[in-house]
Amino acid sequence: MDDIPAEGSNKRLNRLVAITVVILSVFLGLCHIKDDNLVQAMQQSKADAVDSWSEYQATKTKLHISEGAADQLAVLGELARDKTAVAAQTARLAAQIGKYRTEIPALQAKARGFEAAYDAMNYHDDQFDAADAMTGIAVSVAAVAALSESLWVLFVAWGFGSFGVVMGLAGFLGWAIHPDFLARLLS
């Protein structure tokens, strides 16, 4: 049986579509690996921020308890017979209060640092999300170009693909290109 060529087949267009799909798929795969690693780092940063804020809150609670105990001890110390024991306990509470007052700003700064790191990574995650979306659209449109045998549809695919590649490169290279509108629309 002889191979019957498909009517209107356009080998050049099909080759361009195939090359487009391969290039965009490989690039999309690399972006996906980087994005997955970024998301893992974001999760760790968010967990560290939550832990730091919990430690901050616990330290503030201990400070309030120690301050209340010191106030009570001051009142009860006037009535106590053993002033030395009261003075020793007052000194211990004063040391704890000083320690907590020193720790609180450091814990707050630490937690804010983790939140800032998360926000910075989220910026790049948005870039990879845009790259993923635009590149996926480009691959789909390229398939339609092959089916419809339309070069202008392939140009549309290249437009989406170009935007996807730019966003992926922005994520990889730390460029300050951010799809604010797209991020707000899809979040």
pLDDT single digits (tens) 80-117? 777 888 888 889 999 999 999 999 999 999 999 999 99
pLDDT of res. 9: 62
Decide if 1 is inside a domain. Answer: no
Q: Is residue 3 part of a domain?
A: no
pLDDT (0 to 100) of residue 4: 44
Residue 136 tokens read as 């996926």
Asked whether residue 76 is assigned to any structural domain, the reply reads yes
Q: What is the pLDDT of residues 1-56, one digit of tens each?
A: 445 455 556 889 999 999 999 999 999 999 999 999 999 999 999 999 999 999 99
Residue from 35, 27, 1 nearest 162 by CA: 27
Contact 138, 157 (CB under 8 A): yes
| 4 inside domain | no
Residue 59 sits in a domain whose CATH number is: 1.10.287
Mean pLDDT lowest for which of 156-160, 166-170, 183-187?
A: 183-187
Domain count, the chain: 1
Upper half-sphere CA count for residue 101 (Cβ side, 13 Å): 8
* Within a domain: 165: yes
What pLDDT score was predicted for residue 79? 73
Residue 137 lies in a domain: yes
pTM for this structure?
Answer: 0.75
Domain that holds residue 56: 11-186
Q: SS3 for 7?
A: coil
